[in-house]
Amino acid sequence: MKAKVMVLATGGTIAGGSESQISGAYTSATMGIDRILEALPPLHHVVDIEGEQIANVGSQDMDWGIWFKLLERIETLAQQEAIKGFVITHGTDSMEESAYFLHLTLKTSKPVVLVGAMRNGSSMSADGPLNLYNAVAVALNKESVGKGVLVVMDDEIHCAREVVKTHTSSVHAFCSPNCGKIGSIYYGKVHFYMQSLRKHTLQSDLGLEKIQELPKVVVIYTHVDCKVSLLENAIINGAKGIVVAGMGNGNPGSALLNAMGKAVKEGVVVVRASRTGGGLVSSTEVDDAKYGFITPDNLNPQKARVLLQLALLKTKDVAKIQEFFHTH
């Protein structure tokens, strides 16, 4: 029996098209999974590839409803012995958040690989077909088993926890700024060099016992003359948690710092992250224990939000949530 890879489509630039090969203007999520798979070379002698349309949106419109559909579908299909791995075609804008959500919640050791494109399918030198071919190869590779959710873009393999989109248009838009890529792939030839030591998938403490709405968590991006009203309005509008993307080592202005401390006393969980894009947030300039803040380790604000949403389904205990950030 040949191995099978399931390709679950959600839209994005890899499913997009344009009227011109040499224009940056295009519309994402215009092609269905059947059209996307047509770009692959014949692989029938090696693997059965089956496609399924989960959604068809630009990933700026990704939401937790689609996340739950992916989660449920993968966990159902993973029970089939013939299916050796999964590929999710996804827009690049929110790919890192979707990948990390699945990394924390999926209960399978089978490879799950997110892939996208920076150039639409009609573009000259479109990168989607080769990215997809490489993603299928990674999903089939035995060394991918147990490594959690992966992202394959531009000949590189990244761990979902580490990967970040860092460029608006370059085909080399994805990197892992803190720890580096975990492998590379060249025309289907897979090479792994490392793997994450943090909890994920089967070892994760943040898996969902049932599908339920995620708590409202807001990210506040600080800047010069950042107003306290941004935080206050988030609380008024029902935020259960707030991630503050502070300057430098996660530093908010003094007025915002005091408002963050007040929010904690009112029962809101506050994570003090950094807007810099890399590095560990440490309690060197802010006494986090005094204020009751959580630090996100080296997670960026958008990924800290994903983890906090899942953590709030388990507990509101600050010490326990801090432990989640240090172990996942």
Beta-carbon count within 10 A of 250 CB? 28
Let me know: does 228 contact 253? Beta carbons within 8 Å.
no
Let me know: does 108 contact 202? Beta carbons within 8 Å.
yes
E-strand stretches of 116-249: 149-153, 156-159, 164-165, 174-175, 183-186, 189-192, 217-221, 241-246
Catalytic residue among 10, 13, 89, 295: 13
Q: Which residues contact 141 (CB under 8 A, 6 or more apart)?
A: 111, 190
Strand order in the sheet with 83-89: 47-57, 3-11, 83-89, 112-115, 149-153, 156-159, 183-186, 189-192
Instruction: Assess whether the region 4-203 and the region 217-327 belong to the same CATH fold.
Output: yes
Q: Give Rg (Cα) of the chain.
A: 20
* pLDDT at 40 (0 to 100): 85
> 27 an active-site residue?
no
* pLDDT at 44 (0 to 100): 66
Tell me the C-alpha distance between 297 and 274, whole Å: 10
Residue 223, token pair as written in the block: 């800047």
Amino acid at 79: Q
User: Is the entire prediction scored with pTM above 0.75?
Assistant: yes
* pLDDT at 140 (0 to 100): 96
* H or E element at residue 131: helix 128-140
Architecture of domain 217-327: 3-Layer(aba) Sandwich (3.40)
* H or E element at residue 65: helix 64-77
**DSSP H helical ranges for 168-300:** 229-236, 254-265, 288-291
* pLDDT at 195 (0 to 100): 92
Residues of the chain with pLDDT under 50: none
* H or E element at residue 312: helix 301-312
Q: How many residues are there in the chain?
A: 328
* pLDDT at 53 (0 to 100): 97
Amino acid at 70: L
Tell me the C-alpha distance between 128 and 39, whole Å: 9
The pLDDT tens digits for 29-69 are 678 898 889 888 777 678 999 999 999 999 999 999 999 99
Annotated binding site: 59, 92-93
Query: What CA–CA distances, in Å, run from 62 to 49, 98, 137?
Result: 25, 8, 26
* H or E element at residue 138: helix 128-140
Tell me the C-alpha distance between 243 and 24, whole Å: 34
- Nearest to residue 278, comparing CAs of 178, 196, 198? 178
Packing angle of the helix pair 254-265, 229-236 (nearest 10 deg): 20
* pLDDT at 29 (0 to 100): 65
Annotated binding site for substrate: 59, 92-93
The pLDDT tens digits for 239-273 are 999 999 999 999 999 999 999 999 999 999 999 99
Q: Which residues pair with 11 in a beta bridge?
A: 57
Q: Which fold has domain 4-203?
A: Rossmann fold (3.40.50)
**Angle value at C-alpha 70, between 136 and 277, nearest 5 degrees:** 80
Tell me the C-alpha distance between 301 and 291, whole Å: 19
Let me know: does 196 contact 214? Beta carbons within 8 Å.
no
* pLDDT at 194 (0 to 100): 94
The domain ranges of the chain are 4-203, 217-327
